Structure 1
């Protein structure tokens, strides 16, 4: 049975996945990197250390709890994006394992970007993998990115990605986490902030800040701090943060559609698993495709699927 192994060692999560192409099924394991209470992330040296400890455990769980055979294709996310100079040391952990696995087993080896992995995972989850054969607009919204992207078929990299817009300062995931830590939540704060925001009883008008399709999000952190200082409830503050991000993404989408036409819309990345943000976007763009939460946050599923698409494309 054709099986394709994917590895992703991002700055948030250690992930391993196997895609079984005959069943169109993903098996995956993942584990968040530990972050001390009150802190907003990890140094790269600490991330590398934790991946080194956690990756063997993820592989053991993935193959110990299933009847999967040894895949003969392995893919790792080796860089954040497919752009010159895109590099983070944490991805060396996954790439190193994949290279070693390939050398020992003779498995075909591929590498891709963390960003392409996110987009392919979203396409798989939304049952839209056929979009790799045509242009579409994708958002990658996470702790390190707030990117609006034009995606087009590419023989070498599966997808050729051009930036339409990005964040000029704070990223959406950073805004969520900084607001969450301000409210006493544990990093990463997305799930807890969403729960808190569900109890809001007041809604503030939001005015996104865009410059040629790119956004500015630093204002949301300042506004949330001001709201709390002036006695606003944590629930209403959390809701303002999420509404600001949602309306900003909607404004960026409108810019992209005006510039490139009514292309299919795909939303990927951990921030896009937030129900409040997703529902506001769907109310404006009902045909948009979203990944399920387990395929929105950092995962190796799309990386495994990349290996499948490359293998079938080379036959």
Structure 2
């Protein structure tokens, strides 16, 4: 009996190289590698990210070769830009696109381009076990994005409408920058969360950012809370107090933002910051009238699972998945 076909997905984001194989039974296999950032630095230049993706992709694909060899690849999908907009561009994504198009040509199969944001949304749906049929809200929180989105399923992907975002720092930048100040490695999300869990006492009083309606869209800002958190650290608050204070300020800001910008409905939380357990718990406590959907942490962080799943969906018919 022939082995069933699969889709190969590739995602080369700002800080993670990812590949995944997806089929009729769901996720078959995946591999990913975080790009190294020197201690004390707050990120990589795009050219540095491109260099690491070029090095990482062959090794990651080699890890999946036993799966790819055993089951024919019917489609190759890759995220070619950060968002599904013609103006959206970031050099690291050209690496995944180039590999994807080349592999599709070599295997004589279709190439399915998508965006990093659509991949996050689909990975969130896969991880949450939710087959969304109607429009829903999605909150994309990461080091490169803080956006509230109105998402309409539009086979095989989505129609996405922007409903609001950050004026300055993204949610992930807020966490990463205070993490670097605390001497933690970049990206600092998991380390900040672990530090906050060690708190024995009251958190530092990091202020909440109040959502503002500007030109019909609800905006938030994190530069003020970051400055306040850095000042509190200088004033003698412990790293654990500041870490929990940052988490609390972020969670309260996000909760108020959702309340101001939307009515109770289905809400999908995606992106690397969505992996934070304190944030998830706070949103469940403060938004009980919303139907909150959250993927496991590993499918919230950058991955190619959603990209591969979108590739697989392009081979099926509406309603089959």
TM-score relative to the length of structure 1? 0.94
Instruction: Say if 2:168 is the partner of 1:166.
Output: no
Q: 1:1-315 counterparts in 2 under 5 A? A: 1-21=4-24, 23-64=25-66, 68-128=70-130, 130-131=131-132, 133-155=133-155, 158-200=157-199, 201-203=201-203, 204=205, 206-212=207-213, 213-258=218-263, 262-286=264-288, 287-313=291-317
Q: CA separation in 2, counterparts of 1:81 and 1:26? A: 26
Cα RMSD, aligned residues only: 1.7
Answer yes or no: is the 8 Å Cα contact 2:80–2:116 preserved in 1.
yes
Q: Distance in 1 between matches of 2:71 and 2:313?
A: 20
Question: Higher mean Cα deviation, 68-77 or 218-227?
Answer: 68-77
Alpha-carbon distance between aligned partners in 2 of 1:238 and 1:68, rounded to the nearest angstrom: 46
Q: Secondary structure at the match of 1:159?
A: strand
| TM-superposed deviation, 1:313 | 3.6
Matched residues, number? 308
CA contact (8 A) 2:208 2:250 kept: no
Q: Per-residue deviation at 1:206?
A: 4.3
Which ranges in structure 2 are unaligned for 5 or more consecutive residues?
A: none
Aligned mates of 1:26, 1:127 — CA distance in 2? 16
Tell me by how many angstroms 1:207 deviates: 2.8
Residues 66 and 104 of structure 1: is their aligned pair in 2 closer, same or farther, counting only changes over 3 Å?
A: closer
Contact 1:148–1:252 (CA<8 Å) still a contact in 2?
A: no
Which consecutive unaligned segments of at least 5 residues does structure 1 have? Answer: none
The SS at the match of 2:240 is helix
After superposition, the Cα gap between the structure-2 partners of 1:49 and 1:208, relative to the gap in structure 1 and judged at 3 Å, is same
Look up the SS of the partner of 2:308 in the other structure.
Answer: helix
Contact between 1:206 and 1:247, CA under 8 Å: does it hold in 2? no
Please, what TM-score do these two structures have when normalized by structure 2? 0.92
CA distance in 1, matches of 2:87, 2:8: 26
Whole-Å separation in 2 of the counterparts to 1:72 and 1:214: 42
- Contact 1:6 1:307 survives alignment (8 Å): yes
Q: Distance in 2 between matches of 1:149 and 1:186?
A: 30
Query: 1:311 deviation in Å?
Result: 1.7
CA–CA distance in structure 2, aligned partners of residues 100 and 207 of structure 1: 48
The offset of 1:63, in angstroms, is 2.3
Q: 4+ residue runs of structure 1 moved beyond 6 angstroms?
A: none
How far 1:69 moved relative to its partner?
A: 1.9
State the alpha-carbon separation in 2 of the partners of residues 72 and 29 from structure 1.
19
How far, CA to CA, are the matches of 1:294 and 1:98 in structure 2? 23
Distance 1:205 1:8, change over 3 A: closer
